[in-house]
Amino acid sequence: MLKEGRGMREHAPQSGVSRKSEGSRDVSAKKFITTYPTLFGAFLSLLIAIPVFVMVIWFPWIGDAWVRNDRLVRSVWCTLALFALTLIRFVNSG
């Protein structure tokens, strides 16, 4: 509903409707990291350890290919490392 007053239109207050619900909180990753750095480190190490264990258990031929110095596997690993480094630098720059 609009109210007319002194040449300006004003929105009438709506009862029972708020813009921000009372139960929601603004949680950012930066605040979480600074508040709980040990928990964040444990979570990050878990995110790194799970793919390593999956690779060792279900795909052992990837590790065997690395031992044999297979050029294709080496190039894929280096590409992934370069992508991760680029992504980290991009996130930290802005």
Per domain, the residue ranges of the chain are 29-58, 60-94
Q: Please write the tens of the pLDDT for every residue from 3-60.
A: 555 555 555 555 555 555 555 566 788 888 889 999 999 999 999 999 989 988 998 8
Provide the 8-state DSSP code for 43.
H
Reduce the DSSP state of residue 88 to 3 states and report it: helix
Please name every residue paired with 3 in a beta bridge, in sequence order, or none if there are none: 10
User: What φ, ψ does residue 28 adopt, rounded to 5°?
Assistant: -115, 155
Q: What are the tokens at 6?
A: 């002194």
> Is 0.85 topped by the overall pTM?
no
User: What φ, ψ does residue 5 adopt, rounded to 5°?
Assistant: -160, 120
Q: What is the DSSP string of 7-75?
A: TEEEEPPPTT--SS-TT-----HHHHHHH-HHHHHHHHHHHHHHHHHHHHHH-HHHHHHHHTT-HHHHH
Q: How many residues does the chain have?
A: 94
